Structure 1
Amino acid sequence: MKKITIFFILLSIKLMSQASFNVIYEADYKLQYKDQNIQNAIVQEDAFALLINEKESYFKNMNKYVGDSLRYEKKLNDNSNVNDHFKYYTFFRENIGVTNGKIYVTAPISNKNFKYEETNDINWNLVNEYKTIGKYKTQKATTKKYGRTWIAWFTKDIPFPFGPYKFNKLPGLILEVYDDKNDYHYTLYKFGKRKYLCKSANMNTDATLVDKSRIFDYQRKEIADQNQFNDVIEDKETLNFLRKKSAEKAKNYNPIELNIY
């Protein structure tokens, strides 16, 4: 029993720190979201890649996926043009690894890298409703997680129990998932075989392990930071205006996770 416990501890450490990921399939998703909890909030859009093998998945923003690959190949570095860096910037900077038992998250925050893990205990209710998405027959499932009620559509035609963000543990790939207010809506737009070793999956292997509660809702805290413009704006009137706007945006910020669990 002691040897088994040590094995799983070592496996956990490996998954938390590994830089590469063995990819067999890739599922690409579009996210439409409202990051402000106000009336007539602007719907924004972003893209993400879900890397899949038989036992685990790895999820990251598409800009970060491409940008990290270029950084790994030394084609994007500190000497690169600022516009090149901006092209691959994303507000969604987390790397999310999912196994059957755990979810591992690495998050760059204020020029530092942090990581946390949480139990993969999502529970779905299967609903006797079906619809066709593209060429796939899908079934509906619902769950309550992270302070929201979620609706998912999965297909048994693609027998991988994974999906976008932290959503998984259904008997087939999740093609669409959204909350009941439709603030966050993921939709699959591409799926295919991609057998290769992604060496740049996690470029933040120096991340400090912390409890999730320490960095929960960190985006709101970054948005509200009153000192974030000090090094780039000298005009006091403009600086005060930006500080006021950032405070308003942070107050109305609508994160995908409304609570930790």
Structure 2
Amino acid sequence: MIKNKITLIFIFFNLSFFSFSQVGNITVKYNYSLDDTKDIYGGNDFKKTTLVTNGKESLYSERNIDTTIVYANGEDITYINKNFVYYYSKNLTKKTITYKDRYVGMDFLIKDNNYSVKWTLTNNSKKIMGYTCQEAIGEFSCKSYKAYFFKDIPFSDGPFKFDGLPGLILEVLSDDGTVKITANEIILDNDFITNPYKDDIKFISYEEARKKYQLKFAKFANLTTDENGSVTIPKRYIECYVN
């Protein structure tokens, strides 16, 4: 009886591995939280996000849980409805990501050709959704991170700009506790991955986008209210735009 049970477990494991390794595309849904309130220069963001990937290209989308406020410039305030979706299109072969940034300004299409995380693998592991994931540590923008990836899904991809590991990333945690992105559902499918920016030809680099945000930050820093109060916007969200 015990032998039969072990055999069934072994068969189930191999069927699961076969399914993951043979599927065309994989969809992963994540819970995303950014709660950086150690000073007035940190941002807050709570979203439901989705990654559709085949290991060569992917589409990552973000949907706000609540309506958020975006300061478009030094005078106007934009309210983004929680049903609005932001898209990040990745070419994993060329190592590029294209997107419209909610913070810099939605009129700018950004192509980042230089994003990367220098990961170091550790011997630690963690269960995510029942899957044993290996730990990696790395630096991205101004924060240190731990990522947990599942080697049995052989796609070097993950949420946002976190990728480059020998397996699909199911969780990303910043060491300061401000960022947490955790998978809550994995779907095997063969849907096409669409690039919403495939017909766009004008874009700015990430470096240009960062400079635009720094100018916007400086403009806010020089504003005062009628009560002689000061106005500011965050220096950092999941990425740091101002040193």
Normalising to structure 2: TM-score of the pair?
Answer: 0.67
2:145 aligned with 1:163, yes or no?
no
Partner of 1:66: none
Partner of 1:256: 238
The separation in 1 between residues aligned to 2:158 and 2:227, in whole angstroms, is 37
2:182 aligned with 1:209, yes or no?
no
CA contact (8 A) 1:96 1:165 kept: no
The separation in 2 between residues aligned to 1:189 and 1:58, in whole angstroms, is 17
**1:178 is matched with which residue: 166, 173, 179?**
173
How far is the alpha carbon of 1:183 from its aligned partner?
Answer: 1.3
CA contact (8 A) 1:158 1:172 kept: yes
Which runs of no fewer than 5 residues in structure 2 stay unpaired?
A: 1-23, 65-78
CA contact (8 A) 1:26 1:192 kept: yes
Partner of 2:62: 61
Distance 1:129 1:87, change over 3 A: closer
CA contact (8 A) 1:101 1:120 kept: no
How far is the alpha carbon of 1:216 from its aligned partner?
Answer: 1.4
Distance 1:88 1:224, change over 3 A: farther
Aligned identity (percent) is 22
Partner of 2:187: 192
Distance 1:126 1:87, change over 3 A: closer
Matching of residues 15-30 of structure 1 within 5 Å: 24-30=25-31
Matching of residues 130-145 of structure 1 within 5 Å: 130-145=125-140
Distance 1:198 1:96, change over 3 A: closer
2:104 aligned with 1:122, yes or no?
no
Which runs of no fewer than 5 residues in structure 1 stay unpaired?
A: 1-22, 64-82, 227-238
1:13-55 CA distances to partner (integer Å, 9 max, x unpaired)? xxxxxxxxxx72111111111254428x896421111110141
Distance 1:124 1:259, change over 3 A: farther
**2:143 is matched with which residue: 141, 148, 153?**
148
Q: State the Cα RMSD in Å.
A: 3.5
Partner of 2:50: 49
Compare 141-150 and 43-52 and name the one that shifted more: 43-52
Normalising to structure 1: TM-score of the pair?
Answer: 0.63
1:191-229 CA distances to partner (integer Å, 9 max, x unpaired)? 112322244x41584362223221117667668866xxx
Q: Secondary structure at the match of 2:238?
A: coil
